[in-house]
Structure 1
Amino acid sequence: MALPAQKQMKYWGIAAVVIAVVLWALGDVLLPFVLGAAIAYLIDPIADRLEAMGLSRTAATAVITVFAMLLFVVILLVVVPTLIYQMLDLAKVLPEAFKNLRDFVQQQAPSLFDEGSRAQQTIVSIAQTLQSKAIGVLEGVVGSAVSLVNVLILFVIVPVVAVYLLLDWDRMVARIDELLPRDHAPTIRELAARIDKVLASFIRGMGTVCLILGTYYAVALMLVGLNFGLAVGFIAGLVTFIPYLGALIGGVLAIGLALFQFWGDWWSIGMVAGVFAIGQVIEGNFLTPKLVGNSVGLHPVWLLLALSVFGALFGFVGMLIAVPVAAALGVIARFLVEQYLDSRLYQGKAHNDAD
């Protein structure tokens, strides 16, 4: 005999509250395990392809692990030191560039900077706000995420968790399927397949787009001669998952630095702007349609809201689970809309006539 819907909602509600409390209380402890699970989820299709080529699951996991270790060592030795140096130098140069911009504007429109003017007060207020926010962010980062112990723990535990989960991924999925409530198993499988499709399109697809564009911006800007090309490319690629924002932030930053570095050399400044124009053409016409698709089902505004809410509630772990939770809620919302459109409540008399 099936449980009444009211009791089912009660049990599912209790389970959701328990999960939320555990995430809130043990967020820092769960971080390496959530990261490991995310990595295993992302790499699982590669392991499945290697199995289809004739390798066992253990051999496929071993091949992926060795390749990942080699790639990590290369990135750690070649890319990371240069990126860190450029980011630190960029943090030192930006205040000087901002001061030069202020001096230029002051020469062109001195009335804006008259003592006591509304424009001058607004600029001072904005500067003080940005300074206080930057100090708060730096204190939070130094106090939690970038402590040496946490970083070492992440580097040790995350790969181990990812390898073990990747090795047992198919068995875990099969076991979870066996434990589904029998009355609702077909519906849950359908929703899970939809959620997986959305996540695969967004995370794997957009992750690849971010990687390709970030690499392109970094290499192209360094070839043009921009001093902080690698850092700007990294920043632009990192936020490419939000349409147009990656190119906007990276373009404004790169062109501003180009004006600071190449002032008077308009050919070099135009080449920097052209790098981002070409990047937008490549992303809009080739990368996003081919790797992500035209309809992912995960709107950028909805994603930003999820990242903000879960980040505020559960910290960095919340930001990691925000994307799958947002995808799941979006799929469930569309499923409920489908049920409503097929219900008697929506169709009314036409539904009765069809019956």
Structure 2
Amino acid sequence: MNGPDTTTEDKGEAPRNPARRQAMTFAAQELRLISAVVVLMALGLFLALPFVLSIGAVVFLPLVTAIILTILLSPLADKLASWGLPNFLASLLAIVAFLGIVALALTAVLRPAVSLYDEVPAMIARVGEHFSQLKGSFNWVTRLNEQIAQIVGSEGGREVVLATPSFLEELAFATPTVLLEMLLTIMLAFFMIEARVRLRHRLLLQRAAVDSSLKAARVMREVQDRVAAYILTVGVINLGVGVVVALGAWMLGMDAPLMWGGLAALLNFLPYIGPLLMTALVALFGLGTAESPLLGLIPAAAYLGLHTVEANVITPAVLGARFTMNPVLILLALSYFSWIWGVTGALLSVPILLALTALVDHLGRPNLIGFMFGEPLFATNVLELAEED
């Protein structure tokens, strides 16, 4: 009796399996087509976004800067509010504290830099003297260039010199725009910090599903913790670097040691590019003030050794694996946002990258390399879940 029943069930399931398999195959092709469209749209957005953001920099740059400042200063405002201060006053004090730190840093750097500005021509002349002394060892290069010029031939011509605005004229033209953008950024940051409680209420409590509210809470907390902790930790490390550089400059007899310490601390916020620029500045100053090239390169070599220890030992040990990012991604973000917004974009590149990384970790990291070889775009494949059901 069991034999006919089993045969009947097999006959009944046989036509259903091919139909289900065909439906799953069609769904997989449709999902891959939609994923390809999403990848192409994301690539187009990535290529078109710089032009939109650069053209609308007056609007987008203050907005993005205000968002980063809000993420950074919201924990301070929450701490002040927990002490019984009104939300308005706590937000205002957080902004004032940030502006005070920036003003002190700029004062420590700019005031000595202005006094040393008059000595720049003498330093350049001294550097030229050092190179002219070294030039005698490479006379064969000069003779080779002269022979090449004789073979190729050169025709004299009139040299056209275009009149360009001076540095002070360009600074005078740019100052109103910079001040307007700074004022807009501070106002946006203040109102965003002041409205943080209402924003959390809307994101967390006005969701239709509890799961979406919990996910939004986790995303907000992760973005804020990651960006704020990174900036504060790196700020403390850079402050230590500045103190060491200032002490080293004082011990080496360099002028304005506070200026060099402040420059080292500020430029260290720019990954890779900032330390290279600092090394070049210290080398230029050393060659411009020392009696010999070897003595002039000692401050640059000392700073380079300090940066090597800080970047490879201290910073990885303090930050840990949580903030470890691919150097390729850091350089891409640095070049991408520097291309869009210049120096300000370079300073914002790492915080923006951290925020995007936190969002991607919660929303799903796309498998772009595997997608090119036929794998699903995301690690969680809905078709596999359907097959299990």
TM-score tier by shorter-chain length is 0.5 to 0.7
State whether structure 2 residue 196 is matched by structure 1 residue 169.
yes
State whether structure 2 residue 88 is matched by structure 1 residue 61.
no
Contact residue 255 and residue 269 of structure 1 kept, 8 A:
yes
Higher mean C-alpha displacement, 333-342 vs 253-262: 333-342
CA 1:294–1:242 in structure 2 vs 1: closer, same or farther (change >3 Å)?
farther
Contact residue 30 and residue 317 of structure 1 kept, 8 A:
no
Cα distance in 1 for residues equivalent to 2:147 and 2:356: 45
- Compute the displacement of 1:283 (Å): 5.7
State whether structure 2 residue 70 is matched by structure 1 residue 43.
no
- Compute the displacement of 1:149 (Å): 0.7
State whether structure 2 residue 141 is matched by structure 1 residue 112.
yes
Contact residue 203 and residue 213 of structure 2 kept, 8 A:
no
CA 1:142–1:343 in structure 2 vs 1: closer, same or farther (change >3 Å)?
farther
Contact residue 269 and residue 347 of structure 2 kept, 8 A:
no
Higher mean C-alpha displacement, 315-324 vs 44-53: 315-324
Cα deviation code 1:80-130 (max 9, x no counterpart): 3223444x457545643542342122122321222516999xxxxxxxxxx
Of the three residues 207, 210, 214, the one matched with 2:242 is: 214
Q: CA RMSD in A?
A: 4.9
Cα distance in 1 for residues equivalent to 2:146 and 2:192: 61
Q: Which residue is equivalent to 1:34?
A: 64
CA 1:324–1:277 in structure 2 vs 1: closer, same or farther (change >3 Å)?
closer
Of the three residues 308, 315, 325, the one matched with 2:335 is: 308
Q: Which residue is equivalent to 1:225?
A: 253
CA 1:276–1:208 in structure 2 vs 1: closer, same or farther (change >3 Å)?
same
- Compute the displacement of 1:268 (Å): 8.8
Q: Which residue is equivalent to 1:335?
A: 365
- Compute the displacement of 1:49 (Å): 2.3
Q: Which residue is equivalent to 1:236?
A: 264
Between the aligned residues of both structures, percent identity stands at: 19
Cα deviation code 1:307-329 (max 9, x no counterpart): 32234346667556644543355
Cα distance in 1 for residues equivalent to 2:98 and 2:297: 38
SS of match in other structure, 2:145: coil
Cα deviation code 1:174-232 (max 9, x no counterpart): 32445668575555554554444442343333233334323432453145321364554
State whether structure 2 residue 115 is matched by structure 1 residue 81.
no
Q: Which residue is equivalent to 1:128?
A: none
Cα distance in 2 for residues equivalent to 1:223 and 1:141: 35
Amino acid at match of 1:104: Q
CA 1:24–1:248 in structure 2 vs 1: closer, same or farther (change >3 Å)?
closer
- Compute the displacement of 1:54 (Å): 3.9
SS of match in other structure, 1:114: helix
- Compute the displacement of 1:305 (Å): 1.2
CA 1:170–1:247 in structure 2 vs 1: closer, same or farther (change >3 Å)?
same
Of the three residues 40, 52, 59, the one matched with 2:82 is: 52
- Compute the displacement of 1:44 (Å): 1.5
Unaligned runs of 5+ in 1: 121-134
Cα distance in 2 for residues equivalent to 1:184 and 1:307: 33
Max Rg structure: 2
Instruction: Work out the number of aligned pairs and report it.
Output: 327
SS of match in other structure, 1:335: coil
Cα deviation code 1:265-301 (max 9, x no counterpart): 98897577445534644565445533x3344143333
SS of match in other structure, 1:226: coil
CA 1:216–1:61 in structure 2 vs 1: closer, same or farther (change >3 Å)?
farther
CA 1:302–1:67 in structure 2 vs 1: closer, same or farther (change >3 Å)?
closer
Of the three residues 314, 323, 326, the one matched with 1:299 is: 326
- Compute the displacement of 1:167 (Å): 1.8
Contact residue 108 and residue 262 of structure 2 kept, 8 A:
no
